[in-house]
Structure 1
Amino acid sequence: MMKPPRRPAPVPGLSLKRQLLLWLLLPQLVLWLAGGVLAWRVALSYAEKGIDQSLTQSVRALARQVKPIGSGLLVDFPRAAQDVLEQDPTDRMGYMVSSPPGSFVLGNGKLPPPPAGLLIAAGEPLIYEAPLAGKPVRVALLEVNYGDADAPQRLRVQVAKSLAVQQRIAHELVADILLPLGVLGLLLGLLMYAGILRGLRPLKRLQAQLGDRSDRSLTALTPIELTQAPQEVHSLAAAVNQLLDAVRRSLSQEKRFINDAAHQLRTPLAGLVSQTELALQETELQALKDRLAKVHAGALRSAHLVHQLLSLARTEAEVSLQPLDLAALAREVAREWTPRALAAKVDLGYEGEDTLTVLGEKLLLRESLNNLIENALHYGTAGAGDTDAGAGGATVTLRVLRQGGEAVVEVEDNGSGLPDDDRPRVFERFWRASELPGGCGLGLAIVAEIAQRHGGLASAHAASPSGLLLRLSLPLPVHLNFKA
């Protein structure tokens, strides 16, 4: 037979600390880069405005130095002004005077003309960008009219400056802005890392507390205590405590069931073994039949005990409550027990509500009704006489009543009853007030457990004039309680 392929072990993901750092530092890095790009664009814009203002002033000043005289030009451009324009060898400011526009008159180089299609107004500076010797430059242009009315002429003055200054200014501004932001971001990252480490300490303590529970005893399932921790960790610890409590209850129930089963099955099984050994030694047929009858009775008692133990274990599990008609269920159970009651000459009757809705688990409530009626038929009619049911003999009455905000189930018999001191003990496990064969002392304990699982209560009372009254009280749903 081929073995199924083994699934690969799950690969653990990133730790919570790394995920927090990733989700906190990554947006910070993205914002820092976006801020750098924005700062670069803003710095370029401001540098461009500064260069344009400087070029505008320079072109106006140069235009004032060129004075028209008649049909000619007088250029009053001292050497000092030329030195100012050319003071930076790495970033010289170019200038050019042309008249008519485009015909070189004066300057330190030929400057590019403005883009075609631009309307140039006399006396208004124009700023544009154009290539010069393979490098982009910023050019300020100013045109001035001169000459006679009969022979008008136009003078063009241009001043250019490379964009290297603009980029250098932008770099300086960006460096001055981003360097402090980078230092602050680094400090913020360190603070966030320290904060994450401190915030994860409760999880470390929780891990340590769970890791210390290496043994498998019930003492390792005690609740986790975290006195100082965030609300989320307290919620996690509370959820773990609920799980530990459920596991502890389950283990306790399992251990108690095993102990009860081992304790209660030991005696009947020993009796079965001894009876079968004696039956094997019998030679007479009648004696053998008697032994086998005892074996059969012991087997029935053992089967009944196992059934009760399993029912008790089932009642200790979580129940799912659903709306059901308790009165209809009680009448149905009473009809099922009627043949046995007639065979035992017991008058089994029903009294009470025609319909009464409760929240419950139908299988468990049926089990509790069966146990109450069986207990009354088995023990409650022992002292009621041997007359027929119709002639004032043994009676068992099943009632379903509404009392205030509760649904009450009562099973009353007219037997000899129980002393006042024994009535509180009828719901204890394996306690029996009678030595009559057939019982195991678990039926009423199951009834009490079912009542508790439904939020109710089981109690025992003296019947009038004699007998025992067993009562099962269950809470009614809120809307039925209000209606009542």
Structure 2
Amino acid sequence: MSASAGLSLRRQLLLWLLVPQLVLWAGGGLLAYRFAMAYVEKSIDQSLTQSVRALARQVKPIGSGLLIDFPKAAQDVLEQDPKDRLSYMVSSPPGKFVLGNQNLPQPDAPTPTAGTPVLYRGLVEGQQQRIVSLDLDYGDDTSPQTLRVQVGKSLTDQRRVASELVADMLAPLLALGVLLSLLVYGGIRRGLAPLTRLTSQLEGRAVNEREPIGATQAPSEVHALVQAINGLLEEVTHHVHQEKRFLDDAAHQLRTPLAGLISQVELAQQAAKDPVLVDRLAKVHTGAQRSAHLVHQLLTLARTENQAHREPLDLAALAREVAREWTPRALAAGMDLGYEGTPSLMLRADALQLREALSNLIDNALRYTPRGSAITLRVQRTDKGATLAVEDNGPGLSPDDLAHVFQRFWRGSQQPGGCGLGLAIVREIARRHGGDAVVQALAPKGLRVELHLSDLA
């Protein structure tokens, strides 16, 4: 699946629900910070306005001059915070330094109204400050003069207070957000529980199990999905039954005439005296047997692709039983057929299909292994299940041929009788049991075919 399709439905829902929540939380924090800054700045403005009026009262005009008297109380106002002292400046006319800090910037307003404080921001020694400026008129009508008193305060405290306010506001919101996220996750998990149960039902089913799925307590949306799946299962069951009926009919219609043809040819061979006729009848007999074998293999392959009825069985006992059944033919071919391995190994499997797989492997070994060879069946327990193997000490196959042995209708030898489907059937049966089939060459010669099976009982 792609990146978007690779996310589960649960994760997609979590993303769609929690990411907007995170964005809103961050946006709310930014707005809260701006509001806190505005409120703190308003408080600073009020404090600065009071301070500048208090300082302005300490400047007393005397005729055309000024008497500046800063008592201890005024100094306490200016130095109330040693870490963040107020900056002040007295100038007359405005901008012409008289007392205080010379580096306070002047207000942007060209002509501030006398008696009205003007608030603005400015840089003082590289730091942002909030500054208030108050102009006062003094002198007489013949010589009017203006006095400007300025007081500035750093915005460091403003930012610190605003940050503390925002932190105090967002910390509980974050805790509520985490709690909400847990509730959302629990709600999503509970809401998707019917789909999880449906998935478990489908995964736990055998390949040939096509009974309708029950979902009586599921939501309506899941009910619709279950109904669709049940409809599909019903349709598949119908088609499988049709195919099985066709296979049974085909088996009967093909095997019966072929068996009759083989019997008639054998009778004709017994009665024939002409060598030419005997030779032709032998070719017909070989072709009829090969056709019968091909029909059997094709029907077996089709059936293995449709169903596998897994039931508890002893794999070792099954292998010994099949070996006994093929022993007479092995003896007739001058070969040693035997069993080695664990005395008992229980697993869940289709006995008929495993018997067919073993029969194909033994038949191949008997066909393509010379007289005097040994054929051995082995059953062993592995970490992942069981291994069922048939090995011989015949000529084996070349590395190039090993890559093609499981292909349908591929034959490694031109000897009569084979049809190139035996090993393809073996692999299909192994895969129907949750495993696979592999083939490997033995040293110094020989061949080993293994079926890896799982689902131990």
TM range (shorter): 0.5 to 0.7
Q: CA deviation at 1:49?
A: 1.8
SS in structure 1 opposite 2:105? coil
RMSD: 3.1
Which residue, 232, 253, 256 being the options, matches 1:243? 232
Report if the CA contact (8 A) 2:78-2:85 is conserved: yes
Match of 1:131 in 2: 123
> 2:229 and 2:111 mapped to 1: Cα distance?
80
Q: Deviations over 1:83-133 (max 9, x none)?
A: 0221101111122222222333333x2342325563322112111111111
Which amino acid counterpart does residue 240 of structure 1 have in structure 2? I
> 1:117 and 1:207 mapped to 2: Cα distance?
74
1:196 aligns with 2:188: yes
Q: CA deviation at 1:254?
A: 1.4
> 1:122 and 1:253 mapped to 2: Cα distance?
104
> 1:96 and 1:34 mapped to 2: Cα distance?
40
Report if the CA contact (8 A) 2:119-2:133 is conserved: yes
Q: Deviations over 1:33-69 (max 9, x none)?
A: 2222222122112222221222122212322332223
Q: 1:116 to 1:274 in 2, by over 3 A?
A: closer
Match of 1:224 in 2: 213
Match of 1:161 in 2: 153
Q: CA deviation at 1:159?
A: 0.8
> 2:95 and 2:257 mapped to 1: Cα distance?
127
Match of 2:138 in 1: 146
Which residue, 20, 23, 27 being the options, matches 2:16? 23
Point out the structure with max Rg over C-alpha. Answer: 1
Match of 1:110 in 2: 102
Q: 1:270 to 1:175 in 2, by over 3 A?
A: closer
> 1:66 and 1:235 mapped to 2: Cα distance?
87
1:402-421 mapped onto 2 (5 Å cutoff): none
1:370-449 mapped onto 2 (5 Å cutoff): none
> 2:17 and 2:262 mapped to 1: Cα distance?
74
> 1:192 and 1:61 mapped to 2: Cα distance?
57
Report if the CA contact (8 A) 2:134-2:149 is conserved: yes
Q: Deviations over 1:258-294 (max 9, x none)?
A: 3445567788888999999999999xxxxxxxxxxxx
1:185 aligns with 2:174: no
Q: CA deviation at 1:157?
A: 0.8
Report if the CA contact (8 A) 2:54-2:74 is conserved: no
Instruction: Judge which range, 96-105 or 242-251, deviates more.
Output: 96-105
> 1:277 and 1:128 mapped to 2: Cα distance?
119
Which amino acid counterpart does residue 235 of structure 2 have in structure 1? A
1:210 aligns with 2:202: yes
> 1:161 and 1:270 mapped to 2: Cα distance?
112
Q: CA deviation at 1:205?
A: 1.1
> 1:111 and 1:20 mapped to 2: Cα distance?
58
> 1:256 and 1:211 mapped to 2: Cα distance?
28
> 1:106 and 1:261 mapped to 2: Cα distance?
117
Q: Deviations over 1:221-273 (max 9, x none)?
A: 01111122223322222222122111111101112333445567788888999
Which residue, 36, 45, 52 being the options, matches 1:52? 45
> 1:115 and 1:267 mapped to 2: Cα distance?
114
Q: 1:117 to 1:84 in 2, by over 3 A?
A: closer
1:61 aligns with 2:50: no
Match of 1:254 in 2: 243
Structure 1: state its 5+ residue gaps.
Answer: 1-8, 283-484
Q: CA deviation at 1:169?
A: 1.8
Match of 1:88 in 2: 81
Report if the CA contact (8 A) 1:226-1:234 is conserved: yes
Q: Deviations over 1:451-477 (max 9, x none)?
A: xxxxxxxxxxxxxxxxxxxxxxxxxxx
> 1:41 and 1:161 mapped to 2: Cα distance?
19
> 2:21 and 2:89 mapped to 1: Cα distance?
50
Which amino acid counterpart does residue 216 of structure 2 have in structure 1? T
> 1:85 and 1:255 mapped to 2: Cα distance?
102
SS in structure 2 opposite 1:225? coil
Q: 1:168 to 1:255 in 2, by over 3 A?
A: same
Which amino acid counterpart does residue 203 of structure 1 have in structure 2? L
> 1:205 and 1:177 mapped to 2: Cα distance?
42
Match of 2:167 in 1: 175
Which amino acid counterpart does residue 226 of structure 1 have in structure 2? A
Instruction: Judge which range, 198-207 or 124-133, deviates more.
Output: 198-207
